[in-house]
Structure 1
Amino acid sequence: MKFSLQLNCENIDWNNVSELLKRVGMGFYDGDVHRKAFENSHSVVFAFDGKQLIGFGRAISDGAYEAAVYDIAVVPEYQGKGVGKSIVESIMQRLPQCNIILFASPGKEPFYKKLHFRKMKTGMALFIKEEQMQSDGFIE
């Protein structure tokens, strides 16, 4: 399957980002909130089939030894076709010296395990929407 990757935030329709996250059942905000999050990130990747946005992801990092991956999302009809793998690998290539953490949507852990991520025993989180995150299966 052919698709292209874009490594910057130029000409992104942020409302599409919000809609894609909503469509795949992930947390989403107003498009301007996503714009701010992606523009303030260390690394961003957007996947396109022609002009159609089909996936994306981002990482925040100090650029020295720590990074965190967020918002990895691929529209359902493109899942299982290498798009998500390409997004994550592109991010990881830009952070070769960093420890990388992420939290996956419940049920997506096998995908990240194939990319050599392992479950953490000491991960902790403090969420603004704690009840929602608990009901979604992110926290105990």
Structure 2
Amino acid sequence: MATITPNTAYQYKLNIDLNEVDWQSVLNLFKAVAWKHRKADEIEGAFRNSTNTIFIYDHDNIIAFGRVVGDGRYYAMLADIVVDPDYQGKGLGKYLVKALNDQLLDYHFVNLTAAPGADRFYKSIGWKKQTTSYIWPQGPKQLRQHCEAE
């Protein structure tokens, strides 16, 4: 994968003190990318239970973030890779994925569940579609968006 140099106009914070994060801003960013049905306190809990986190700021505004859910050695999953729509197309998503993935050396499996329509982005940065992955759908929408037709 190509080296991605961060834009020096932004602040990149890997594994920061999560007490510094404005969780309402994070919730607002989820809403901006149409990921609904989330609550600020639940998002905070999810990030606190993550093994790695990254936030990108433009001045004091969170413009992108991501996290890793993992066991510390064998299995890790990138989650919640989100870039403010006003900042998309500037390499921030690629930077998030690379910076998080760089923290996962020597893991046996690193995977992610892409948002509907994001597969071209992940393929363009070297991710491969897994043939042995399964999901237990949590409702009809997830069944429709993430499962093969039977």
| TM-score using structure 2 length | 0.85
**Matching residue within 93, 112, 127 for 1:117:** 127
Q: Distance in 1 between matches of 2:36 and 2:80?
A: 9
Q: Distance in 2 between matches of 1:127 and 1:38?
A: 22
Equivalence for 2:70: 61
Shift of 1:60: 1.0
Q: Deviations over 1:37-66 (max 9, x none)?
A: 001100000111111110100001112121
Runs of 4 or more off by more than 4 Å in structure 1? none
Shift of 1:19: 1.4
Matched, 1:71 2:80: yes
Shift of 1:75: 0.6
Aligned residue pair count: 138
Matched, 1:131 2:140: yes
Percentage of identical aligned residues: 33
Opposite residue 129 of structure 2, the aligned amino acid is: K
Shift of 1:104: 0.6
Q: Distance in 1 between matches of 2:147 and 2:75?
A: 22
**Matching residue within 8, 12, 15 for 1:5:** 12
Q: Which runs of 5+ in 1 are unaligned?
A: none
The equivalences for 1:25-64 within 5 A come to 25-64=34-73
Equivalence for 2:116: 106
Equivalence for 1:89: 98
| TM-score using structure 1 length | 0.91
On the 8 A contact 1:21/1:28 being kept in 2, the answer is: no
On the 8 A contact 2:57/2:63 being kept in 1, the answer is: yes
Opposite residue 49 of structure 1, the aligned amino acid is: D
Q: CA RMSD in A?
A: 1.4
Larger Rg: 2
